[in-house]
Structure 1
Amino acid sequence: MIIIIVVYGAMLVISLLNIRKNYELDEFEPYEELLQSEFTKPVSILVPAYNESAGIYGSIRSLISIEYPEYEIIIINDGSKDDTLEKLIDRFNMVKINRVIRKQLDTKEVKAVYQSTIYPYMYVIDKENGGKADALNAGINLTKYPYFCSLDGDSIIERNAFLKVLKPIIESDDEVIASGGSVRIANGCEIQNGELTKIDLPKKPLVVMQIIEYLRAFLTGRVGLSENNLLLIVSGAFGVFSKKWVIEAGGYAHTVGEDMELVVRLHRLIKEKKENKKIIYVPDPVCWTEAPESIKYLRRQRKRWHKGLFDSLWKHRKLMFNPKYGSIGMFSMPYFFFVEFLGPFIELIGYIILILSIFAGSIYLEYAIIFFLLSLIYGSIYSMASVLLEEWSMERYPKVKHFVILFLVSITETFWYRPLTVIWRVEGMLEMLIGKKGWGEMVRKGVSNE
């Protein structure tokens, strides 16, 4: 408990200092300059889509209006069983074209390539189902620009998000090879034709708790890790990568957590080539995505994430405590294994011992109360610090009632939400041990009103 408090506390302090450093900076003018700069790098936007009919139109509409000088949009229909492809062809006047695809990464068969007659920079790849990693690799094969962005098919991007997420890459002279932005939950917000028109909180406490969880993960955890080039995760919902480095690393692997596995592999490649490259997180650019609203689908999501975490750690176990890989091997890998992966299992044992001790009468009640209160207070402080950082730096939730609701719900986390996520993550561990794989079906209702 002391170790976790120290580690999380340190990351919180680093995040505070980092965000404070950039607080109240006039960033509008530099972004405007990037729109006109000859050094701004063109980017290919990849949108893998499997049964995303409910939200795909709004997501693509949000990409059409982004502020960026040169880009292409490539939607990869990964053998959808619904009308995702038909909707794209109809809404964007797609026609089949003969396009030579340079097959730098192996993928399932591509059946056809379409191009929009309304937006010539928009393409659709229709291919056999092979999973998200396979779809992204197919998109990379079609790209013509040196950087690409992976974006989920159910996500809405803010108009200036690409300028913000690519700014460190542009200014670093290729030292930064990957950059990830923030992900926020769109449930409860008003989105019209792919544009966020009103930010609000959802009514369901389960979704509100996920908002707090996302704020904590992105604004404290990832800022703290990124500051020291220790970041092992760039969210699959919104991340920009150097195509050259990704191809050299072998592209996306067919795993449950392909986004984390790729980042770990890139770190490994950087260290083995003894290059001075960085993978960073930028708090300001935001991508809005749909969160599960039922316990059934949230449980599937968390089990999948935990299996993906272990899969990445196990595949690259050679890095663990290996000084050859610097701070990644000596800190990041152990942190993700002992704290993030094993943490839920240890916590569940604690719950079980506590319950058994109460019935057995072998518990020091005073100490148990002290530890419980410490856990409650620390967890609430950490969650509320994340909410404060959000309000302090980006102000995405502007109303006072938003702040009050987030504060009140965060206090309840220890009583219901945290135990649930602990159980689900341990379930993921058990399923992994018995060899049960797969994503689990997720049902989308779509975040955009067309």
Structure 2
Amino acid sequence: MIQIPEQLHAWMSAVAEPVAMAVIAIGLLQNVMYLTQLMLAGLSAARRAPVQRINSLWNLYSDVSPPIALLVPAHNEQETVVENVNSLLSLQYPTFEVLVINDGSKDETLQRLIETFGLEPVERAHDLVTPHQPIRGLYASPHLPRLLVIDKENGGKADALNAGINLARAPLFCAVDADSLLEAGALLRAVQPFIDNPLSTVVVGGTVRIVNGCRVRAGRVVDIGPPRNLLALFQTVEYLRAFLMGRLAWSEIGSLVNVSGAFGIFRRRTAMEVGGYSRATVGEDIEIIVRIHRYMSEHKRAYTIKFIPDPVCWTEAPESLRVLARQRIRWQRGALETLFTHRRMLFNPRYGRVGFAGLGDVLLADFLGPIAELLGYILIPLFWLLGALDGAYMLAFIAVTFSLGIFISVSTLILEEIQFHQFPKVRDLLVLAGAAVMENFGYRQANNFWKVVGLLRFLRGQKGGWGQMTRTGFRQS
């Protein structure tokens, strides 16, 4: 042990145990939350009906499926936007339109759309309910009646989505990222809650998976495989945990507060009633869901927000630490901005399980947890080395942080294999299992660090827009 002055040792001995106990207690609470999610997700997945083939779904739902407007906000997306639009135009769904909103791109996003699809200037009457920056022009083609491109001044993703909501004509809209690809039957699968419960369903989210490592042909994923890039591989495991465990669990008990901005279907009327997407946050996807919960609860209206695991959207994950850090810091700021804006909902019985489980999870996972864990990495070993803390606390912290973390990640992978079987090759499963273990040693700590950075920027009131996300494009077969 390192020798230190007696007075300093006495002070450290007094604070070391309470600090260690607080860190371990928060870690235990977070893992209890994860274990609860895992249990609820397993029960939900076990009860789900067998996945039907797209032809069967078409025969069942094509005549009753409501029209959908696909909103694709795009800012400097020249590498993926054409492939994305081709993918959307070939979706198997009876009535839909694709609205690409070019949010003041500085690259060739607009020009590539015009040249590829033969677009010409058009006019279109539209609502002016949700606020957004001025529209500079509308473009369409007589040969592609389902496609409309909206060119507008830069205002951010929420601003672009609001423009799309105003110009949409369908009763439902689906927000899709420009770096993402929807599976052919994704809309038919995701729209089922709107058909089964048309009066109460207001939002439905689907699963988002990592496309890095997969082969794409004509806007479709034709071969699924794990990414070769280590960062993207860790994100594959992370996304499985977030969607197949977290969102499936909270959907099961009616407390889902986050539908991914990459793939979510909304009732247009409800989105307009709450004022559209907030332009005051970088986390517009989580904020609008929480605001809908709040609005519907305060107006005492029956409603449902669901997560359906079967419809899949494939998205490109960052492959560099710099880009990933920007993304995660922005996500953290958005989550904290939402939590602060709607803080009166937190643990408020008026908002039911949403206020306790949904927002409680945000408080724990995005605020208390990262701070406690980072403090634990620094203070618990330090106190132990200085002789101010018993080694049992060190072992308890390691067990809570690493052992349970690995167990939860591997268990989510087992759930994916048993229920969804998206990775049929044994070699791919072994790679993912290795990533589920390895992510706890470095990647997890980096994520917590970025969350703390996001917290500090939130406390300073720092704002931001889209952020520069470098795209490599989809891997073509």
TM-score band by shorter chain is over 0.9
Between 346-355 and 16-25, the greater mean CA deviation after superposition: 16-25
Structure 1 position 35, deviation (Å): 4.4
Question: Is the 1:155–1:287 Cα contact (8 Å) retained in structure 2?
Answer: yes
Match of residue 417 from structure 1: 443
Deviations 1:109-158 (A, max 9, x none): 11111112331110000111111111001011111110000000010110
Give unmatched runs, 5+ long, in structure 2.
1-26
**Is 1:434 matched with 2:455?**
no
Match of residue 281 from structure 1: 307
Deviations 1:397-437 (A, max 9, x none): 11101110111121122221111111111011111112222
Structure 1 position 332, deviation (Å): 2.1
Distance 1:363 1:415, change over 3 A: farther
Structure 1 position 366, deviation (Å): 4.1
Between 103-112 and 252-261, the greater mean CA deviation after superposition: 103-112
Distance 1:29 1:95, change over 3 A: closer
Match of residue 352 from structure 2: 326
Question: Is the 2:376–2:397 Cα contact (8 Å) retained in structure 1?
Answer: no
**Cα RMSD (Å):** 1.6
- The aligned runs of 1:187-336 (5 Å cut-off) are 187-254=212-279, 255-336=281-362
- The aligned runs of 1:330-349 (5 Å cut-off) are 330-349=356-375
Match of residue 407 from structure 1: 433
Matched residue type, 1:446: G
Structure 1 position 395, deviation (Å): 1.7
Structure 1 position 30, deviation (Å): 5.0
Deviations 1:349-399 (A, max 9, x none): 111112322431333224423431343221111111111222222222111
Aligned mates of 2:475, 2:96 — CA distance in 1: 23
Between 54-63 and 3-12, the greater mean CA deviation after superposition: 3-12
**Is 1:14 matched with 2:36?**
no
**Is 1:382 matched with 2:412?**
no
Q: 1:394 aligns with which of 416, 420, 424?
A: 420
Structure 1 position 84, deviation (Å): 0.4
Structure 1 position 338, deviation (Å): 2.9
Instruction: Give secondary structure in 2 for the equivalent of 1:96.
Output: strand
Structure 1 position 230, deviation (Å): 0.2
Question: Is the 2:179–2:315 Cα contact (8 Å) retained in structure 1?
Answer: yes
Match of residue 159 from structure 1: 184
Structure 1 position 52, deviation (Å): 0.2
Aligned mates of 2:212, 2:393 — CA distance in 1: 40
Question: Is the 1:48–1:78 Cα contact (8 Å) retained in structure 2?
Answer: yes
**Identity of matched residues, %:** 40
Normalised TM-score (structure 1): 0.96
Q: How many residues are matched?
A: 449
Question: Is the 2:30–2:369 Cα contact (8 Å) retained in structure 1?
Answer: no
Structure 1 position 307, deviation (Å): 0.3
Instruction: Give secondary structure in 2 for the equivalent of 1:415.
Output: coil
Structure 1 position 315, deviation (Å): 0.8
Deviations 1:160-198 (A, max 9, x none): 000111111111123110000010011111112211111
Match of residue 174 from structure 1: 199
Distance 1:30 1:22, change over 3 A: farther
Question: Is the 1:256–1:308 Cα contact (8 Å) retained in structure 2?
Answer: yes
Question: Is the 1:34–1:40 Cα contact (8 Å) retained in structure 2?
Answer: no
Normalised TM-score (structure 2): 0.91
Match of residue 184 from structure 1: 209
Question: Is the 1:35–1:67 Cα contact (8 Å) retained in structure 2?
Answer: no
Match of residue 71 from structure 1: 96
Match of residue 100 from structure 1: 125
Aligned mates of 2:389, 2:200 — CA distance in 1: 55
Aligned mates of 2:472, 2:261 — CA distance in 1: 20
